[in-house]
Amino acid sequence: MKIKLENNKVFFDNNGSKKEIHPFWLRERVNGESFLDKGTQQRLFDPTELKKNIEIKDLKLSDEFLEVLFDDGAKTKLAIQNIFKEFSNINDVKFIEKIKWDSSLKNYNNYEFDEKIFEQKKMYEALVNFYQFGFVIFKKVPTKNNFLIEFANSIGSVRRTNFGEFFNVKSIPNPNDLAYTSLPLAPHTDNPYRNPVPCIQILHCIENEVKGGYSTLVDGYTVTEKLKKDHPDLYKILTEIKVRYQFIDKDVYLENWAEMIELDDEGNFKQVRFSPRLDFVPLMDKDKLELYYSARNKISELYNSDKFKIQFKLSPGDLLMMDNHRLLHGRTEYNANEGNRFLQGCYIDYDSTEGKLRHLKKKFNYEL
């Protein structure tokens, strides 16, 4: 990608495909104290009030910057790299490359907590790791006074649901969800019946005195890529058919129709929804239904395979942050009579972690 100048015009050259950059597009992006608020970086002018036929009077180009003088007197200095990012439609956070993993993953991403971590380079590194692997574990996080909420709100904002601002994961009488029992939980994603589905789940271990109750994680991204390679017909139908997910409680009835494997606009992996106790496949032709059921069974087999699953025991003070759009999680069975197993959980969304990561990137002058 290159920027070229010709007769007071700016061109974007991408491998021989040359396009003129509209002068108004450049005028909208003028910077400096006269045009942008220093703190918020919001415009101090309304672009809809500018004249439509804005023209460029003078241009200067270096390796790093494009300097532009407009006919209304405005002058700006634009970073070439920022122009490239906009033309590429790059979300700098989502551009972090996902690292596929399976049961061979041994070195989990652990970061020791301290009270200043939210503004440290260590948090930046932890969040990059989160986007690479889909999860990260913080150690020695305080277990008193629902500290989970303070932790989550220090990254972004807690997303409240019908379960409350946070929820307690332990065995209770008459539960409204199998999570609140001591039964084993197969790999699944949370809340597929919501629209939108919560992006990130945080689980904080308060007590864990039982022998079982191991946490399990599966990389849905790795598994779906495996299915795509080995069984393209099964992969295809899971990306095309919307199924109904539902949750019913005494005072709420939640429902969402969505694909089990959701792709982005470019046909790449975006999200997986998998909770077979909660999904209802629509009525289709018999042959199509048989193909769909075969696909669901195959991906369930992969999700539950020891080849793709990691397993570990959370200790008091451990806080697991995981991508609910990418990872499946579960647990092994435990005996509630052996002692307490008590976790607290909550949800936050991508805007929280993305916003925090960009803030730390800017603070430490990092490149993603």
**216 and 275 share a domain?**
yes
Would residue 75 count as lying in a domain? yes
For 295-304, write each residue's pLDDT tens digit.
Answer: 999 999 999 9
- Do 191 and 160 belong to one domain? yes
* CATH assignment of the domain containing 357: 3.60.130.10
Domain co-membership, 140 together with 78: no
77 & 194 share domain: no
- The pLDDT tens digits for 285-294 are 999 999 999 9
Whether 36 is covered by a domain: the verdict is yes
Show the CA angle centred on residue 46, arms to residues 365 and 68, nearest 5°: 60
pLDDT in tens, 60-100: 999 999 999 999 999 999 999 888 888 776 667 767 999 99
Farthest-apart Cα atoms in the chain, separation:
81
Q: Do residues 288 and 180 share a domain?
A: yes
Expressed as residue numbers, the domain containing 272 is: 110-363
266 burial (CB, 10 Å; 0-12 / 13-18 / 19+) is: exposed
Q: Which residues of 271-307 are buried (b: 16+ CB within 10 A; e: fewer)?
A: bbbbbeebbeeeeeeeeeeebbeebbebbeebbbeee
Query: Which amino acid belongs to residue 270?
Result: K
User: What is the C-alpha separation between 109 and 115, in angstroms, rounded?
Assistant: 19
For 55, 83, 309, the CA distances from 50, given in Å and listed in that order, are: 12, 21, 57
Percent of the chain with pLDDT over 70: 95
Same domain for 306 and 212: yes
Tell whether 193 and 261 lie within a shared domain: yes
Q: Using CA atoms, how far apart are residues 42 and 202, in angstroms rounded to an integer?
A: 32
Contact 240/280 with Cβ under 8 angstroms? no
CA-wise closest residue to 26 among 92, 63, 79: 79
The predicted-structure confidence for 220-250, as pLDDT tens digits, reads as follows: 999 999 999 999 999 999 999 999 999 998 8
